[in-house]
Amino acid sequence: MGERKRMGKTVGLVLLLGVAVFCYEIVMVLVGYTADFLAQVLPKEGIAWSQQYYLWDTVGCAWLLGIYGLWVFCLKEQRRSKEQSGQESQMKKAEGKDVKEPSRWTKQTEDERVKGQPVWKRALEVAVITFGLGGISSLWLNFAEEVLYKVPFIRDSMERFQTVGKEQLGEPYIWVFLSVVLVGPIVEELLFRGIVYQYLAEIREGWFAVIGSGLLFGLWHQEPVQVVYTMIMGVGIAIVYQKTGSLRYVIGLHILNNFLSALPPFLETETIINGISLMNYVMILPGLYLLGRFADKRQKPEVPAESGKS
């Protein structure tokens, strides 16, 4: 009976994962239909405005921000309820009653994971990891372009990937910034760390949620060349999230990474681009070292500062 319940719970969680991902597709399809409709009814001078990809992607992400934000809030409230249940269980245990031990996932709250660690220090570590992951991404893209370019599907994928980058030049940067740098990363982190990771952690704790959410994050990007480095980045972000238990750190990591790859036009100078590239490569080893530390201590909450005793 216990095995059947466990299987039913797993199936239910997988279905919820599907619903979360399906929400994204539905919203973006509806936004696309809206843009097509406006292209037909607007006067000729308004057609170009209706066909701006990043503008409409921002509109879709704004809707998803509300949907996923509410979803994550509900999951957080559910986790608090479990934590309270775990505390009650410990109290009953102290009274000599036999109760089921709460899972590690419900024992460790977000505040317990980050308390005692200065925010600036944790933010600096996350920044180093961001540059390091960017360096790994650059290594892969260089390898794909220089070594694997003769493979037909890699060549086609690289050309499509580079075309997307060129399309940014044809739209106002404000929409690129909102879509690629700000709102888009928040939506993706709410989905993959706030929702997908949590459901995978419910199915099985430990590396299952880290690797699973990272692989799904990579596959989400679809383009073969992009899938490889976004999988690596997804696993790295998931390790940071598992260590800190805080969405604000992984959202900051994601925003910084995307900003460095989608700079505003006035910052796109050869000096700045080369400086970022050099920083990425220099930070690969320090970033991997920090990720190793984070992963090694992933199940150990940092010691919270002791409160004053009366």
Note the pLDDT of residue 185: 96
Torsion from C-alpha of 279, 284, 288, 289, nearest 10 degrees: -70
* pLDDT(61) > 80: yes
pLDDT in tens, 239-272: 999 999 899 999 999 999 999 999 999 999 999 9
More confident residue, 48 or 3: 3
Helix (H) or strand (E) run with residue 245 in it = none
CB 83 within 8 A of CB 112: no
**AA letter at 102:** P
Q: In sequence order, which residues have a C-beta less than 8 Å from that of residue 189 and are 6 or more positions away?
A: 237, 247, 250, 251, 254
Q: Has residue 194 got a pLDDT over 80?
A: yes
- Range picked from 70-79, 170-179, 186-195 for highest mean pLDDT: 186-195
Q: Say yes or no to pLDDT of 212 above 80.
A: yes
User: What's the pTM value of the predicted model, to 2 decimals?
Assistant: 0.84
Tokens coding 266: 């006035």
Which of residues 104 and 266 earns the better pLDDT score? 266
pLDDT at position 34: 87
- On the question of pLDDT at 304 being above 80, the answer is no
* Percentage with pLDDT > 70 across the chain: 80
Largest CA distance in the chain: 78
* Per-residue confidence (pLDDT) for residue 8, from 0 to 100: 73
Average pLDDT, rounded, for the chain: 83
272, two tokens: 């700045």
